[in-house]
Structure 1
Amino acid sequence: MSPKKRQRRKPRRATPWPTPASDRGATPRERTVSRTPVVIDDPPDRRVTALWVVLTLLWLLGTPLALVNLVLVVTNAQTAALSTPGGPPADVVTDIGNGLVWVLIMALAVPAASAVTALILRRTIAAIGFTTALVVSAVPLLVIMPPADLWQALATHFTS
C-alpha cells in the first residue's frame, strides 16, 4: 500500500485523563488516583412497604364496610322499632353502638395510628398521606354527627 493511502495513527497522550492542578508538576509515579466509592442507597424495606399497603387497604376497605354495616344495623333497628310496641330491643341498640365503634376505629383510629407510625419511622410521604386520609374521613363524619353527640352516643354505649 502506498504511504499516502495508509492512515497513520495519532500518537497517544501520556495520560488519558486530565490531571488535577496539584498533580501537574508531579512525575507520573507521584500522581495519585482518587477512587471514592459510589454509595448506592439500599432499597426501602419491604416490611415497611407491606405495612403501608395493609394499613391503606384497612382504611380504604374497612371504612366503607363499617359504614355499610352501621346503615344495615340502623335499618334493622328501625324495622324492629316499628314491629315491636315497646321500641327496639336492647341488643339492637348494642349492635348500633358496636357499628358506630367500628366506623370510628376504621375511619379515625386507623389513619391516625398510621400517621403517627409514619412519623415515628420518618416516612414523610406516608405521614402526609395518612393525615390526608384522616381528614378525608373525619370531616364528613364530624359534619354528620357533631363531636358532642358522638361522645354522648359512645358514653351511652359503653355505660349501658
Structure 2
Amino acid sequence: MKKTKLLSIVLALVMVLPVTSCSSKKKESGESASDTSETEVKSEIPAIEGYDLLWNDEFDGEKMDESKWNYEPHEPGWTNNELQEYTSSTDNVFVRDGNLVLKAIKTEKDGKEYYTSGKVTGQNKTDFTYGKVVVSAKVPEGQGLWPAIWMMPKDESHYGQWPKCGEIDI
C-alpha cells in the first residue's frame, strides 16, 4: 500500500512521568496503607522510519505548557467513584527535570481522608487523523490506584458521549 503524506504524519508524544509508586503495608488494625515515593524515567524521542515528527513535548519548561495541555479538575467520585479530587494545583501537576509529574497526595477534607491528584488533557490543542503515537511513561502500581493514558476524539459528542465516542487506551 502506498503511503500518502497524511498517512506519514506522526504524533510523537513523549511523556515521561515520574509518578507516585506505592507499596502496601499493614496497619495494626489490618487495614492497608500506602507509602509513596517517586520513580524517575527518562527517554529519548525515537526515530521512526517513514514518519515525520508532527508534535511533541519534552517538558523542558518551568511548568506545564498550557498551549499543549489543559488541566481537568473534577470533584471526588466524578466518573468512576474515585476517591481523589483532580486539581489544577501545582502540588499535583508540575514539571521537574524534563518530566511531567502527576502526583497523588493523601489529605483530609471535612473530617474524611481522600486524595488530590492531577488530570491533564490535550483536547482542542492538537489532533490528527492518521499516524503513530509514542508515549513514554512510568505509572504507579498499588491497591486502589488506576493510572491511565488514553486518546479521545476531538469531538466527543460526534458518536455520543463517553464511552460511545471511542477511547483508545495506551
Indicate the TM-score class for this superposition, using the shorter chain for normalisation: under 0.3
- The structure in which a higher percent of residues are helix is 1
User: If the length of structure 2 is used for normalisation, what is the TM-score?
Assistant: 0.20
Q: Which has the larger radius of gyration?
A: 1
> Relative CO higher for 1 or 2, CA cutoff 8 Å, sep ≥ 6?
2
User: If the length of structure 1 is used for normalisation, what is the TM-score?
Assistant: 0.21
- The structure in which a higher percent of residues are strand is 2
